[in-house]
Amino acid sequence: MPSKSVSGYIAIVGRPNVGKSTLLNHLLEQKISITSRKPQTTRNNVLGIKTVGHVQMLFVDTPGIHKGQEKAINKFMNKTASSALKDVDVVIFVVDKKQWTEEDDWVEQQVNNVDCPIIVAINKVDQIENKSDLLPHLQKLAERMPKAELVPISALKMQNLDQLERLVVERLPEGEHYFPEDQITDKNSRFLASEIVREKITRQLGDEVPYQSAVEIEEFVEEGNLITISAAILVERSGQKRMLIGDKGDRIKQIGQQARLDMEKLFDSKVMLNLWVKVRRGWSDDERALRSLGFDD
């Protein structure tokens, strides 16, 4: 451990669904970024703060950088992810264990424009039975990005994350810490609560509804050991509202129960959670509506 204070920002970037949020949560050893098997789950940059002795690492989890979608929310997500690459000290470029796509090409172009150390984290290697099968992919990555350090990892199984963290620390500059050592994120409790609800929606429903839904916290009141939270789930069509509510309200009840349990664990408090669903047509392609939902942060 260095004797002088070390601190810096580390952008975690990659195409959708390569495991960026899972990586952040396991590096922090605490869940602050929502995860699901569906791509484009993360919509905002989420800062995770890890302080160990003299070292403070500020990890920025970004939306997956993607191509070919023109809605305002997709443009916002790409802009948000690209902005995270400005003025960072290290970039972790997360890629799949074997697959390389056009979207990886697009992310690589963005990453190659930064003037800082790059670490390529090849994720999900636990799914490869014969590790020699990984060698051709590693060789191609080394040829594509000769200045980058390559690290095979499994974010989900927490394999090789200690080596990844060591490489990050070695590349951080000396400097005073930006945040208190017990702080784990710069996001407020209302944001974290809305993200937890959105995660449960994403995990419960099919491909369409999660991408056309948003969560708006209308009430967040702390009284002693009880937090009362009221949240509106916004969708674009009446049919989506019916799907979210489910038969006799079963689905919305299940979403609420799962979200409440996660909130109680995160906030270390009892939570009373009230959910309802509103139809707000075209919100995902309406810049003014997106700003009202906090998408211009």
pLDDT of residue 123: 96
The arithmetic mean of pLDDT across residues 172-194, rounded, is 91
Tell me which amino acid residue 291 is: R
Cα 10 to Cα 117: distance, rounded to the nearest angstrom: 10
Would you place residue 66 in the very low, low, confident or very high pLDDT band (cuts 50, 70, 90)?
Answer: very low
Q: Does domain 6-170 have CATH number 3.80.10.10?
A: no
| Run of H or E residues at 133 | none
**Residue 193 scores a pLDDT above 80:** yes
* pLDDT over 90 percentage in the chain: 50
Q: What interhelical angle do 20-28 and 161-170 show, nearest 10?
A: 80
pLDDT of residue 35: 67
- The reply to whether domains 6-170 and 189-292 share a CATH topology is no
Q: Can you name the CATH fold of 189-292?
A: GMP Synthetase; Chain A, domain 3 (3.30.300)
Helices (H), 14-144: 20-28, 72-83, 102-111, 135-144
Cα–Cα distances in angstroms (integers) from residue 162 to residues 52, 152, 166, 269, 277, in the given order: 13, 12, 6, 31, 42
Average pLDDT of the residues of the chain: 84
Residue among 247, 233, 172, 166 at smallest CA distance from 202: 233
Nearest to 272 by CA among 239, 224, 233: 224
pLDDT at 39 over 50: no
Domain layout of the chain by residue ranges:
6-170, 189-292
At 64, is the pLDDT very low, low, confident or very high (cuts 50, 70, 90)? Answer: low
Q: If pLDDT is split at 50, 70 and 90, which confidence band does 166 have?
A: very high
